[in-house]
Amino acid sequence: MQLLERQASDVREEDRSLQSFEAPVSPTNPVLQLNGLTVQIRHKTGVDSIIQDISFDIHPGETVALVGESGSGKSVTAGAILGLLPKSMHVAAGQILFQGEDIVQWPTPKRRKLCGSHIGYVFQDYQGSFTPFMKMGSQLVETLRTHRKQSYKQAKAAALACLEQVGLPAERAFDSYPFQLSGGQLQRAALAAGMMLQPALLIADEPTTALDVLTGERVLDLLDRMQRQIGCAVLFISHDLHHVMKRADNVAVMRSGMIVERGASSAIHGRAKHPYTRMLLNAKPLLSEIPPDFDLEDDEHLFESMHRAGGGPV
Ligand SMILES: Nc1ncnc2c1ncn2[C@@H]1O[C@H](COP(=O)(O)OP(=O)(O)OP(=O)(O)O)[C@@H](O)[C@H]1O
């Protein structure tokens, strides 16, 4: 906590074009609000709607889970918020309000600056989160210096603080290439990168899908802790309704590009109205299989043994 607070005071110097977001966010105003968002894809023969008229909002400190089966439109929704839609897709209608401003029409460079500094993201493909031939430390320092006016020394100190915050042996992780870290360690480092600039919103798109169940739980516990420290809003994307219900305040259930049901996790758990939601609820929960006494915190020994073995994913 202290490390992140110190880092926050170091890194407050902001890009001018985004200064309007420096104002403290009121807990009563949403960080993100989607109003009737519709995304279309162009074909040779015409256009189709991939996302149709979806609306939800996320407040500071809140976690909203966007849940649905493969192909329901979760990642396209994330792509629209991040301004990372494929060329063939465009926002055809609706608003994406970030801290009250509609960012849909913002020019690409302004959107790029917003992402990373005010909107962080962690994707399921942690292998692709980092450039393979650059040491982790250099990549984190570069991210910091792209968004903040910092000397190398300041950025290195902040990057080390973040690596420590996510439970990695900071100096050694800083000096490692991505291939020298295990999947869980890489996803922790990706979380450090996503949270490093203390974003108002973090988008976590299936952040644990590529990890085993126990490592995935560690990463999610870490995400919870960091969210509490930073106070950011989290959009948590998953296909597993059981998995997200115990983590999210609110759930939006998506099917075929539309939100079919929305509500507090507790209400969805006990009184799901839509048959599709009930079908997702009937899917077998896997996390109940974790032994209650399993230590989800200590993976330092994995790092040690990996380095003794000369590197490579554990
Ligand atoms: N680059 C693309 N070009 C064409 N169609 C795409 C592209 N990306 C996604 N789609 C289509 O958009 C729809 C929504 O896809 P999306 O990736 O958002 O689903 P999802 O719910 O995130 O699925 P998953 O859980 O498998 O990631 C799908 O029908 C998909 O085939």
Q: What does the pLDDT profile of the chain (314 residues) look like in tens digits?
A: 333 333 333 333 333 344 333 444 455 789 999 999 999 999 888 999 999 999 999 999 999 999 998 899 999 999 999 998 999 999 999 999 999 999 999 998 899 889 878 999 888 776 677 888 999 999 999 989 988 888 999 999 999 998 988 888 999 999 999 999 988 888 888 888 888 888 999 999 988 877 777 777 888 888 888 899 889 999 999 988 888 888 899 999 999 999 999 999 988 887 888 888 888 888 755 444 444 444 434 444 333 433 333 333 32
50 lines ligand 1 (CB under 6 A): yes
Domain extents in the chain = 2-29+66-73+115-283
Q: Six-digit token pair at 283?
A: 């899917």
Q: For residue 84, how far is the Cα from the chain centroid?
A: 14
Strand partners, 40: 49, 90
Mutation to probe ligand 1, out of 50, 85, 238 (largest number of atoms < 8 A from CB): 50
pLDDT at res. 219:
80
70 lines ligand 1 (CB under 6 A): yes
Question: Do residues 193 and 140 lie in contact, with contact meaning Cβ atoms separated by under 8 Å?
Answer: yes
Q: Six-digit token pair at 72?
A: 């329901």
User: How many angstroms separate the alpha carbon of residue 28 from the centre of ligand 1?
Assistant: 33
Report domain 2-29+66-73+115-283's class.
alpha beta
Give the separation between CA 152 and CA 142, rounded to whole angstroms.
Answer: 9
pLDDT at res. 310:
35
Question: Do residues 10 and 149 lie in contact, with contact meaning Cβ atoms separated by under 8 Å?
Answer: no
pLDDT at res. 138:
94
pLDDT at res. 273:
85
Cα first-last separation, the chain: 28
ipTM above 0.90, yes or no: yes
User: How many angstroms separate the alpha carbon of residue 17 from the centre of ligand 1?
Assistant: 32
